[in-house]
Amino acid sequence: MIKRTLREIEQMIEGSKTCKKDRNIVIHGVSIDSRSIKSGELFIPIKGEKFDGHNFILDAIESGAVATLWNKTEPIPPNANIPFILVEDTLVAIQNLAKSYSKQLGMKIIGITGSNGKTSTKDLLAGILSTKYKTGKTIGNLNNHLGVPLTILGFEEDTEIGIIEMGISELGEADLLSSIAEPDVAIITNIGEAHLETLYTRENIAKGKLEIINHLNKDGLFIYPGDEPLIKNEIKKLNPEFKIETFGQDPSNTYCPKLISIGENGLSFKLNESSPNVINLDLLGKHQVYNATAAIAAAKYFNISFEDIQIGLKNADITKMRSDLIHTETCTILDDSYKSNPASVLAALDTLYSLDKYNRKIVVLGDMLGLGDEEISMHREIGEKIDPSQIDYLFTIGPLAEHIAKGASPMIPKNNIKSCVDKEELINDLKKIVTKDSIVLIKASRDLHLENVVDALKSKDSSSKAI
């Protein structure tokens, strides 16, 4: 984490000023949350539409913060005996501080964006790069205008490569995040339907994701899915100095991965048909082949050997709730409950179909949020695309997910499909039908918190009786 004197912090943030008597105070890390402040940290109060972090400065100091930033426009309490740095805007200040810190460390930065697969690609790449370099990565969902600076400022001083996940919901966001991180490698995993509510079209989604290259090092590398015309056509209009590599099904791509085997224990593939090396991946789902391919392409840019690539993939620390296979006393759970959109639901269903040792397959799907005006038709289409020969029961939860059930209802027996009112009803219904040889896919947008359903099925007091 960042360790600097207030004098140094002042120099790293444009337009900032601190009292002379406080300039030798050393901060150890930063925080924007007074509730979780750690001793020695610099508190950065963020001002939003409905909150103002300046109201919690005293709480932060009492909890261990050694200093705080302070917007010049905010009144300073009389006789405030608090070390502080005056800035024009605390949000801009934390972003500038992160940018300065990154430059001081001299580390290489990899930026990753995409509608799906960002986190898996990040985790796989971190595993690979860690075989040769001191590597840092985004933790949790710190991938926005505040999360990216906090991620960078959390990197240790000896970090050689930082992997930054960049999430966007509006045009201009990736440009901002790219300007903070200034990546040496930029990856777009795919273009899906996430955030149609704010971006309206897939064309705008592609445009927004492409902003990641706006501040890409001219000697860097851009990796993207070459089968995606919305990106491919835009790249043709540019004359970039940076290197470009692509992945996808078309043989014209730099990498055209070929799946060799897939099962509950993972999958194996080659980067190209003619490649002599077989890559093993302990993850579920064919879609992970492309995530791994993008990660490997970036790793090769940093001269990682095939042997280390395989070791890194094997030892990668994968974020939970993304196609996790959980074996319990009563059933097996395919936990993909972290988020949901049409492309990721179809990928999860495809993963479920590939697991053939289970006698009963149960699908639980919740609302896919943020899809905009076409949300109802997109939910219905998911239902219509479900393969009835591959599942035994379908449960939905949430008002939008009811349309999944309606789309699937002509193909699935009436008694085997149900839209539940709440999680309690869903859990009770599931406990009535799960058996030891059952597998339950659980997937919905984050706001539904279906990990509660996963936890309920994992609990030892879950009853199990067949009907």
pLDDT digit string, tens, across residues 67-105: 999 998 888 766 667 899 999 999 999 999 999 999 999
Final residue before a domain boundary, out of 294, 315, 336: 315
Transcribe 300-356 into DSSP letters: HHTT--HHHHHHHHHH--PPSSSSEEEE-SS-EEEE--S---HHHHHHHHHHHHH--
CATH value at residue 370: 3.90.190.20
263 annotated as ligand-binding: no
- Residue 131 inside a domain? The answer is yes
Query: Count of domains in the chain?
Result: 3
Final residue before a domain boundary, out of 315, 348, 373: 315
119 annotated as ligand-binding: yes
CATH value at residue 295: 3.40.1190.10
Are residues 265 and 121 located together in one domain of the fold? yes
115 annotated as ligand-binding: yes
- Taking the CA atoms of residue 323, residue 449, residue 346 and residue 351 in that order, the dihedral angle to the nearest 10 degrees is 20
Are residues 292 and 354 located together in one domain of the fold? no
Are residues 288 and 384 located together in one domain of the fold? no
pLDDT digit string, tens, across residues 95-120: 999 999 999 999 999 999 999 999 99
77: left (phi over 0), alpha (psi -120 to 50) or beta: beta
> Structural domain of residue 307, as residue ranges?
106-315
Per-residue pLDDT, 465: 31
Are residues 242 and 147 located together in one domain of the fold? yes
Give me the phi and psi of 3, to 5 degrees please.
Answer: -135, 110
- Residue 78 inside a domain? The answer is yes
Per-residue pLDDT, 424: 95
Chain centre distance of CA 164: 10
pLDDT digit string, tens, across residues 366-388: 999 999 999 999 999 999 999 99
- Residue 296 inside a domain? The answer is yes
39 annotated as ligand-binding: no
118 annotated as ligand-binding: yes
Are residues 394 and 290 located together in one domain of the fold? no
Residue 409 token pair: 């209802």
315 annotated as ligand-binding: no
Rounded to whole angstroms, the Cα distance separating 423 from 1 reads: 40
Provide the angle, in degrees to the nearest 10, between the axes of the packed helices 147-154 and 173-181.
20
Averaged pLDDT, 160-176: 95
- Residue 205 inside a domain? The answer is yes
pTM above 0.85, yes or no: yes
29 annotated as ligand-binding: no
Percent of the chain with pLDDT over 90: 82
| DSSP H helical ranges for 142-245 | 147-154, 173-181, 196-199, 202-210, 229-236
| DSSP H helical ranges for 25-117 | 57-62, 90-105
Are residues 126 and 247 located together in one domain of the fold? yes
